[in-house]
């Protein structure tokens, strides 16, 4: 090891997890009642309009109202959800979020009117992420790096004399297993299942299933090793 490498190694430090070790605190009953009242009073379009009014600010009041309106818009939202500024949703009525989930700033989640999007408990989604969430499941304790993406559909490209964008779409399910970690700017392609407690390297393009405890990296992603044996 060179002197410079040794210096870098000596400055690294291990600290306790913050989000992953967070204990759940239940939201007060009035928040749930407020969300229910909004849902009963307003159309989906009106709720999206209300959400946009509080989308950009980071102060506690705007953060609170984002959570309340988010709960009114979505099919299901658990306790203690954090919605950061400039999050964009398409068809939130198809989306379910578990307890203690976190959505980073400028994330876009694109659903479909007849789609399925289920995001589990204690899921952390970094900023600038994108989800084609027309058939998406993220299980509990998933860590999602900033800028990472899910592509859940592809065009058939047939007939070949048509522009690709005019050909039919094939929507395939994407599943991210319990406790998996997806690196910054990684891309998960349609039909892929990432196994539990697997790691996807930064910038990887995942075209095939990742086994439980697997570590993959590269373009296209390749299996480097299994974190657990036996």
pLDDT of residue 9: 57
Provide the pLDDT for residue 82: 95
Is 79 a known active-site residue? no
CB contact burial 116-150 (16+ within 10 A = b; e otherwise): bbbbbbbbbbbbbbbbbbbbbbbbbbbbbbbbbbb
For residue 161, pLDDT over 60 is answered with yes
CB atoms within 10 A of CB 104: 21
Q: What are phi and psi of 116, to 5 degrees?
A: -135, 125
Q: Regarding predicted confidence, which is higher, 6 or 102?
A: 102
Q: Are 133 and 150 in contact (CB under 8 A)?
A: yes
Residues 107 and 218 in one domain: yes
217 lies in some domain: yes
Count of structural domains within the chain:
2
Task: Look up tokens 């439980």; give the residue.
Answer: 212
Chain mean pLDDT for the chain: 93
One domain, residues 150 and 170: yes
The predicted model gives 3-18 an average pLDDT of 72
Among 80, 69, 86, which Cα is nearest to 35's?
69
Do 144 and 171 reside in the same domain of the chain?
A: yes
Non-local (6+) Cβ contacts of 175 within 8 A are: 136, 137, 138, 139, 192, 193, 194
Indicate which residue of 91, 122, 128, 155 is catalytic.
155
DSSP bridge partners of 176: 138, 194
Within a domain: residue 18? Answer: no
Q: Which domain holds residue 59?
A: 28-73
Does 103 fall in a domain? yes
pTM of the prediction?
0.90
CATH number at residue 107: 2.160.10.10
Residue 44: its H or E element: helix 44-53
Question: What is the pLDDT, as a whole number, of residue 30?
Answer: 96
Query: For 172-194, what is each residue's pLDDT tens digit?
Result: 999 999 999 999 999 999 999 99
Q: 88-131: per-residue pLDDT in tens?
A: 999 999 999 999 999 999 999 999 999 999 999 999 999 999 99
131-146 pLDDT, tens per residue? 999 999 999 999 999 9
- The DSSP H or E segment spanning 64 is helix 60-73
């Amino acid at each position: 090891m060179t002197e410079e490498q040794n210096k870098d190694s000596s400055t690294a430090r291990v600290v306790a997890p913050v989000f992953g070790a967070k204990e759940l605190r239940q939201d007060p009953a009035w928040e749930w009642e407020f969300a229910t009242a909004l849902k009963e009073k307003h159309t989906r379009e009106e709720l999206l309009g209300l959400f946009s009014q509080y989308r950009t600010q980071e102060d506690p009041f705007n953060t609170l109202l984002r959570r309340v309106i988010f709960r009114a818009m979505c099919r299901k939202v658990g306790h203690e959800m954090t919605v950061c500024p400039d999050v964009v949703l398409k068809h939130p009525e198809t989306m379910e979020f578990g307890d203690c989930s976190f959505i980073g700033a400028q994330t876009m989640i694109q659903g479909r009117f007849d789609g399925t999007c289920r995001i589990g408990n204690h899921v952390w989604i970094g900023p600038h992420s994108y989800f084609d969430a027309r058939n998406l499941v993220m299980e509990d304790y998933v860590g999602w790096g900033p800028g990472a993406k899910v592509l859940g559909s592809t065009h058939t490209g047939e007939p070949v004399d048509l522009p690709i964008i005019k050909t039919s779409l094939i929507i395939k399910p994407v599943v991210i297993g319990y406790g998996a970690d997806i690196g910054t700017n990684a891309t998960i392609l349609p039909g892929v299942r990432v196994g539990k407690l697997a790691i996807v390297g930064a910038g990887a393009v995942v075209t095939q299933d990742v086994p439980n405890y697997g570590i993959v990296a590269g373009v296209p992603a390749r299996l480097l090793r299994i974190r657990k044996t036996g």
